A and B are shown apart, each in its own frame.
Chain A
């Protein structure tokens, strides 16, 4: 199972705001197993989806050089259940951005109805937390392409955003002959697929 709790970005304004959608389907494992016979989308994975939407927004603003982690769920309120057939629209806005992290507000809507609202605190893992990178750059790049970040993303001047050079370099190296198992193309995005082409 892949830990993707959004299907794709539909809007992405660097350092400010991101919107993503998540389609809830009866085929999903968590729907079957959470409350058997009562298929709903667990609140916890709705929060995770909002955290992925907001966390990638925070991370992208530094070119993914800060190691961003979800530190705290400050509040989470749910107004209705999400069930198979619903499309959840996650909107996240960076409220506060500081050197050590960010506070992000998020909402989930089903059509025009507010389904849930959260406030999340993201922290940057500083030098006190050793242990290297959280992601291989080429795998993270593959993931955000799958999510359509570079299809819809715009910078502060309204121009399309592009991946950082170091991620493209890592991808190039990972895709060299004999290095394909280094994780460059990811598990289900073979080189040459739409989302694996470098954005230019």
Chain B
């Protein structure tokens, strides 16, 4: 039987507590990984390792961190992601809520978009694909 949303959240929370040294009660769905939980770039590697092991899934770097889009001359102009780039991000990251980013698509703000809730949705989709 596939895990429930609550079970997925509980396991993600445990992974974030271990990887980031935060308290259980700080890991809430709307918390942003970088701004609220203090994740740095190397922490994402740690988090990915834990999620891959916990859920038996593979997480390609480009799915969670679409660096190729954010550094592309085609999709970025003057430090801002173009409408075509935003569409590509939406296509690549259907689990993420990009509405706020879309209003002001500055590349430098992208890193602080991902929330715990986004991560849960992403893992749910990967687990569903495995099952």
* Interface set of A (CB-CB < 8 Å, partner B): 71-72, 74-75, 95-96, 98, 100-103, 119, 121, 123
Contact = CB atoms under 8 A, between A and B. Distances in A.
Contacts of A96: 49-50, 52-53
A123 B21 contact: no
A121 B48 CA distance: 11
A98 B52 contact: yes
B45 A101 contact: yes
A101 B49 contact: yes
A74 B19 contact: yes
Given A96-B53, A98-B52, A72 B46 contact: yes
B21 A72 contact: no
Of residues B21, B43, B49, B50, which shows the largest number of chain A Cβ atoms within 10 Å of its Cβ?
A: B49
Interface of B: 18-19, 21, 42-43, 45-46, 48-50, 52-53, 61
B41 to A, nearest CB: 10
Nearest to B53: A96
A72 B50 contact: no
A130 to B, nearest CB: 16
Contact of A74 (B18, B52, B61): B18
Contacts of A100: 45, 48-49, 61
Nearest to A121: B46
Contacts of B45: 71-72, 100-101, 121, 123
A75 B21 contact: yes
B78 to A, nearest CB: 24
A39 to B, nearest CB: 31
29 contacts: A71-B45, A71-B46, A72-B42, A72-B45, A72-B46, A74-B18, A74-B46, A75-B21, A95-B53, A96-B49, A96-B50, A96-B52, A98-B48, A98-B52, A98-B53, A100-B45, A100-B48, A100-B49, A100-B61, A101-B49, A102-B49, A103-B46, A103-B49, A103-B50, A121-B42, A121-B45, A121-B46, A121-B49, A123-B42
A64 to B, nearest CB: 20
Contacts of B21: 74-75
Contacts of B42: 71-72, 121, 123
A54 B53 CA distance: 19
Contacts of B53: 95-96, 98
A163 B35 CA distance: 46
